[in-house]
């Protein structure tokens, strides 16, 4: 029994979500191999080879993999899928995009967003925005899985010494092409990997105020910035900051919810945080129901005061 | 150009579901059901393509129990021209739905299938990608902007870290994210009109598809409850708690 983890990387280095996925793969039992499909991705493959618990890295390079197009990456996974009992992707935008394609080509079900491995064929996953937890058993020979990174500790990034095998890649499908990307450059930590997150809601009132009020706090704490769906829909914050059922799932050490009422869809994305702080002037806001520390106050007074006190 | 839009009947997003006492699932008897919000966005996008003269016919499809007809009527009230219900009382998992949809695509020959990126009940986020794989079509998932012209779709996608734009050749699959559009309100005259639009009923067996589940649900339980903590009086008390009690800063 061997598991294959599809690495998430930017060619130069491995993204942290890969480490949590390796942990889940190891819990499925057997060896763990990692596929790095990219362009000029030897550095990422070397990094993958050092992850504790990985016994082999497969490096596949080509123009077809430069932008992680689902058609090409899925075809590549299928080309090497034969010997694996489990194929795991992190449940990131990229993993969610590719994994179901792999599952359908193998004619097997996909198990989405697992938070726990109970046995090699039995997994736990949240459903209904995390309002219920299902224990499910796969009846297929090959298990195609996406891993909710907050459910598993990160494997140690160093300490391993896997071999790196280079394979020729599959051809480009010719049916899709990359046009461009607008990826925000930021010195802040990545939202899903941050230890502290400062998150804002509609009560911030405008994009200008969202940034003016929350950025000093995030700077002071070295925190990532997040937002509720209402704040993103209102245009106060970019879409990739959205925390919730259909956005990012986070579990930092400290989550500070500022002016967020706490809809169930938002709670689904952050209720596994270690410590939750809520700052809201509405005493009845549902966010207080999950907060360890609630401060009932006007955020426009409380946040600057908090920045000054830190 | 025909556009096919699959829609799912799900527990309304405002309903907080309860786990059944025998741990076999969640209780959906007597709760409000609605169209999956992402599918509403998918129908709206198809209707906008028709209004622009890009699409000529919109076919809404739903797979499930007879009551899915209501969801299909809603889709037709938004602007779908006709509807197909694949009726079954069996539990349908994403792979089975993708196979049913493939059979319908083979029959109807649409150039575009627009689906919601995920259903808010099982939160799977699979069906569109699976359908694309079964058809050998390209896909653009989590779309926030769609332009269709000259046999291609140029799609902006919401990805981790920002936005990405892809060009895919038709026929193709698109799945919708929240910011793609804001679905229109259905008006009473359109609800009345939708009642007269054709709604065809087929069974999985008619399509030659085996829908047997591949995943068995062993148990469904309530998540660990997070209890409410305390209210602090002021900012100073908050900082003190974070530093000395929680020790997180």
Name residues of chain A where pLDDT drops below 70.
none
Instruction: Please determine, for residue B242, whether its predicted confidence score (pLDDT) is greater than 90.
Output: yes
> Which pLDDT score is estimated for B224?
87
Mean predicted confidence (pLDDT) in B36-65: 98
B31 CB within 8 Å of a chain A CB:
no
> Which pLDDT score is estimated for B228?
83
What whole-number percentage of chain B has pLDDT above 90? 96
Picking from A22, A37, A136, A15, the residue whose alpha carbon sits closest to that of residue A81 is A37
Distance of CA B51 to the CA centre of its chain: 22
- Residue of chain A whose alpha carbon sits nearest to that of B94: A109
Question: To probe the interface with A, which of B25, B144, B166, B237 has the most A CB atoms within 10 Å?
Answer: B166
Instruction: Please state, in angstroms and rounded to a whole number, the distance separating the CA atoms of residues A99 and B57.
Output: 31
Mean pLDDT in chain B?
A: 97
> Which pLDDT score is estimated for A133?
96
Rg, C-alpha atoms of chain A? 21
> Which pLDDT score is estimated for A302?
98
> Which pLDDT score is estimated for B40?
98
Does the distance separating the beta carbons of A132 and B19 come in below 8 Å? yes
> Which pLDDT score is estimated for A134?
98
Instruction: Please state, in angstroms and rounded to a whole number, the distance separating the CA atoms of residues A60 and A75.
Output: 12
As a dihedral over the C-alpha atoms of residue A143, residue A124, residue A271, residue B126, rounded to 10 degrees, the angle is 40
> Which pLDDT score is estimated for B227?
82
Contact B81, B194 (CB under 8 A): no
For residue B187, the distance in angstroms to the closest alpha carbon of chain A comes to: 24
Residues B106, B175, B131: CA angle, nearest 5 degrees:
30
Q: DSSP letter at A241?
A: G
Q: How confident is the model at residue B161 (pLDDT cuts 50, 70, 90)?
A: confident
Find chain B residues with C-beta within 8 A of A238's C-beta.
162
Find chain B residues with C-beta within 8 A of A18's C-beta.
none
Backbone angles phi, psi at A7, to 5 degrees: -70, 145
CA distances from B239 to A146, A204, B244 (A): 38, 22, 8
> Which pLDDT score is estimated for A270?
97
CA distances from B22 to A101, B213, B219, B220 (A): 34, 21, 9, 9
Q: At what angle do helices A93-105 and A70-80 cross, to 10 degrees?
A: 50
What whole-number percentage of chain B has pLDDT above 70? 100
Tokens representing A95 are 């993993």
**Region label for B103, one of left (φ > 0), alpha (ψ between -120 and 50) or beta (otherwise):** alpha
Mean predicted confidence (pLDDT) in B85-105: 98
Tokens representing B228 are 């409410």
Find chain B residues with C-beta within 8 A of A302's C-beta.
235
> Which pLDDT score is estimated for A143?
98
Interface of B with A in 38-67 (CB under 8 A): 38
- Residue of chain A whose alpha carbon sits nearest to that of B229: A292
Q: Count the neighbouring beta carbons within 10 Å of the beta carbon of residue B107.
A: 11
Question: To probe the interface with B, which of A170, A186, A292 has the most B CB atoms within 10 Å?
Answer: A292
Q: How many CB pairs under 8 A join A and B?
A: 258
For residue A181, the distance in angstroms to the closest alpha carbon of chain B comes to: 4
> Which pLDDT score is estimated for A223?
98
Instruction: Please state, in angstroms and rounded to a whole number, the distance separating the CA atoms of residues B2 and A46.
Output: 48
CA distances from A2 to A201, B77, B127 (A): 44, 51, 27
Chain segment B54-72, per-residue pLDDT in tens = 999 999 999 999 999 999 9
DSSP code string of B68-130 = HHHHHHHHHHHT-SEEEEEE--S---HHHHHHHHHHHHHHH--SEEEEES--TTT----HHHH
């Amino acid at each position: 029994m061997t598991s294959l983890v599809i690495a998430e990387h930017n060619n130069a280095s491995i993204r942290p979500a890969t480490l949590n996925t390796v942990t889940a793969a190891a819990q499925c039992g057997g060896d763990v191999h990692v596929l790095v499909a990219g362009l000029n991705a030897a550095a990422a493959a070397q990094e993958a080879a050092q992850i504790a618990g990985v016994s082999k890295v497969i490096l596949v390079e080509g123009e077809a993999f430069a932008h992680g197009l689902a058609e090409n990456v899925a075809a590549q996974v299928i080309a090497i899928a034969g010997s694996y009992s489990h194929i795991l992707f992190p449940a990131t935008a990229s993993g969610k995009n590719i994994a179901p394609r792999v599952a359908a080509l193998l004619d097997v079900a996909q198990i989405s967003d697992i938070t726990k491995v109970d046995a090699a064929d039995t997994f736990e996953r949240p459903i209904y925005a995390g309002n219920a937890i299902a224990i499910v058993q796969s009846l297929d020979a090959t298990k195609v899985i996406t891993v909710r990174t907050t459910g598993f500790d990160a494997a140690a990034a160093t300490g391993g010494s896997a071999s790196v095998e280079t394979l020729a890649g599959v051809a480009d499908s010719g049916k899709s092409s990359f046009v461009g990307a607008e990826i925000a450059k930021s010195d802040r930590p990545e939202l899903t990997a941050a230890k502290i997150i400062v998150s804002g809601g509609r009560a911030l009132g405008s994009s200008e105020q969202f940034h003016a009020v929350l950025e000093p706090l995030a700077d002071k704490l070295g925190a990532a910035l997040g937002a509720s769906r209402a704040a993103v829909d209102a245009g106060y914050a970019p879409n990739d900051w959205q925390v919730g059922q259909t956005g990012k799932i986070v579990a930092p050490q400290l989550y500070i919810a500022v002016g967020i009422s706490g809809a169930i869809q938002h709670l689904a994305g952050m209720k596994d945080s270690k410590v939750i702080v809520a700052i809201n002037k509405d005493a009845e806001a549902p966010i207080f129901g999950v907060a360890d520390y609630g401060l009932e106050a006007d955020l426009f007074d409380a946040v600057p005061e908090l920045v000054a006190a830190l | 150009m025909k556009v096919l839009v699959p829609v799912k009947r799900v527990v309304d997003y405002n309903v907080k579901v309860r786990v059944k006492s025998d741990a076999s699932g969640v209780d959906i008897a007597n709760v409000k059901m609605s169209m999956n919000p992402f599918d509403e966005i998918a129908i709206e996008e198809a209707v906008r393509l028709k209004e622009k003269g890009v699409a000529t016919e919109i076919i809404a499809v739903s797979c499930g129990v007879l009551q899915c007809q209501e969801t299909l009527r809603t889709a037709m009230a938004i602007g779908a021209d006709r509807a197909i219900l694949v009726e079954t009382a069996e539990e349908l998992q994403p792979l089975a739905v993708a196979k049913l949809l493939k059979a319908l695509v083979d029959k109807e020959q649409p150039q575009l299938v627009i689906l919601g990126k995920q259903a808010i009940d099982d939160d799977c986020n699979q069906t569109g990608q699976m359908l694309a794989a079964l058809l050998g079509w390209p896909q653009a998932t989590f779309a926030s902007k769609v332009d269709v012209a000259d046999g291609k779709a140029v799609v902006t996608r919401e990805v981790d870290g920002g936005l990405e734009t892809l060009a895919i050749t038709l026929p193709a699959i698109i799945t919708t994210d929240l910011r793609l559009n804001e679905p229109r309100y259905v008006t009473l005259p359109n609800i009345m009109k939708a009642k007269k639009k054709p709604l065809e009923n087929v069974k999985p067996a008619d399509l030659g598809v085996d829908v047997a589940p591949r995943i068995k649900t062993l148990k469904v339980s309530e998540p660990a409850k997070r209890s409410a903590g305390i209210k602090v009086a002021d900012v100073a008390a908050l900082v003190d708690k974070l530093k000395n009690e929680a020790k997180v800063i």
